[in-house]
A and B are shown apart, each in its own frame.
Chain A
Amino acid sequence: MNRSSSWAHEAIAVFAKDWLLELRTRVALGAVVLFAVTSVVASGFALAPPSGVPAEVKAALLWVVIFFAAVAGLSRVFVVEEETRTADALRLAVSSTGVFAGKLAFNAVLMWTLCAITVPLYLLLLEAPLRNASLLVIVVLLGSTALACATTAVGAIVAKATMRGALFGVLSFPVALPPLLVVIHATKAAWLSDNAWRVAAGDLQVLSGFMLVIVPASVLVFEHIWSE
């Protein structure tokens, strides 16, 4: 088996193992979704019409909710390996690239699940205007993937430190900020703009570019975080 296909196989195995574990306990899913639903309901209660909150504020609020919900769950996938002391076994069995790719895929799917529940609920409860639904789907998909890409390696760092919960938020905010800023701008475009695709085109390019840079950077440093 050549090298490239071997790490892909390993990644799929890690991904399948992590989802199997997750579906048994549902710790990460529960934390993330509950956090998001609670904050959406609370903001819906406070900000629903006729409160007159502009759509710009709503776009920023949506992504703040998604980001903080993600912070509640995205480090779980590495923390659980340290807590159950299975990290050493995983290190022996799988290459570090395989582990990173598997965990990244896990976090991406977790983010998509989170967004699939949060965004429709948010649109419903806060009555956000929606000019361009297909653009919104693309923006949410790219944005949530970018957040997963930005924070997965940070989760691996945090799992090795003390006071993990607080630390993950502090460390992931600066790394996640570029995609957050861009995705808020694009969401505003999808809600308000008549020629939304043209307004958001630059944002989508920056988002994809960011992922193309942060993922190789993460793979490079992950080797050093993961190996003892």
Chain B
Amino acid sequence: MNRTVQILTGIWVAGVTVAAFLWLPPAEGFRSPEAARIVVFHVPCAMLTFVAFLVNAVYSWKYLRSRDPLTDSKANAAAELGMLFAILATVTGSLFAMEQWGSAWNWDPRETSIVMLMLVYAAYFVLRGAVEEKSKRARLSAAYALLAFPAMVFLIWILPRIVESLHPTNTLFSRSGLDPKYRITLWSFFAGLLAVFVWMFRLRLRVEIAEARLRRQHRRDTMPEATPAGETR
């Protein structure tokens, strides 16, 4: 991502945030019309959580086919960002739930599914911590990510539709669902957040690559006369 794109992303996200407060009308029909603006931040966070999970699954699959360590780092970076956006979605959702439904937590199916999503990520990180050897860690965590994927699809797409939910369904893509101004702001914020996601993802990878290089350097410096593998005395 070059400098121009970064600056444009910053201006775009800041602009959409200001527009969400100045240009967007309060949402009539909600208990607290002013607070309902949070929807345009909350929904994109939840959507990005799923995007991150999808990216994680795709790179996990690619890793199993290629066994390329960088692909494993990509899968891990996506999972870390997914966790971050899951927390953001939960916090913004809880704030709004407190205003609208009177309590921060209602065991709504979507609330349940995001907690489960966070549990999957947490389990993924625990697994990564429990395996010392790098290639084995990459292989096992990729396999686990792909096993958890069908379960997540069920929790996100099927469960909220078979159990009664406080959340509305089918608002994003149907014409009648959302006021046009809200729709524009929401999708604009999603676009901005997606750019931030890509930016953070690439930063995370650069850190990972730099760390690996430092470790190699360190090994060379501490063992100047290291013998090549197989030539131990």
Contact = CB atoms under 8 A, between A and B. Distances in A.
A164 to B, nearest CB: 9
Contacts of A217: 146-147, 149-150
Contacts of A224: 64, 139, 142-143
A220 B146 contact: yes
Interface in A182-228: 202, 206, 210, 213-214, 217-218, 220-222, 224-225
A157 B162 contact: no
Contacts of B123: 170-171, 173-174
A57 interface: no
Nearest to A169: B123
B158 A157 contact: no
A181 interface: yes
B18 interface: no
Contacts of A171: 123, 126-127, 144
B140 A178 contact: no
Contact of B127 (A161, A213, A220, A221): A161
B140 to A, nearest CB: 5
Contacts of A163: 130
Contacts of A225: 139-140, 143
A14 interface: no
Contacts of B186: none
Nearest to A164: B130
A137 interface: no
Nearest to B121: A174
A178 B162 CA distance: 12
Interface residues of A, number: 29
B146 A177 contact: no
Contacts of A222: 143
A174 B159 contact: no
A73 to B, nearest CB: 19
Contact of A175 (B139, B142, B147): B147
B130 A221 contact: no
B149 A157 contact: no
Interface residues of B, number: 29
B155 interface: yes
A160 B146 CA distance: 17
A150 B127 CA distance: 17
Interface in B121-141: 122-123, 126-127, 130-132, 136, 139-140
A154 B150 contact: no
A174 B130 CA distance: 18
A2 interface: no
Contacts of B139: 224-225
B64 A154 contact: no
Contacts of A161: 127, 130-131, 140
A221 B151 contact: no
B154 A178 contact: yes
B140 A160 contact: yes
A123 interface: no
Nearest to A225: B143
Contacts of A173: 119, 123
Interface of A: 150, 153-154, 157, 160-163, 167, 170-171, 173-175, 177-178, 181, 202, 206, 210, 213-214, 217-218, 220-222, 224-225
18 contacts: A150-B151, A153-B143, A157-B147, A160-B140, A161-B140, A162-B130, A167-B126, A174-B123, A175-B147, A181-B159, A202-B162, A214-B151, A217-B149, A218-B147, A220-B146, A221-B64, A225-B139, A225-B143
Interface of B: 64, 116, 119-120, 122-123, 126-127, 130-132, 136, 139-140, 142-144, 146-152, 154-155, 158-159, 162
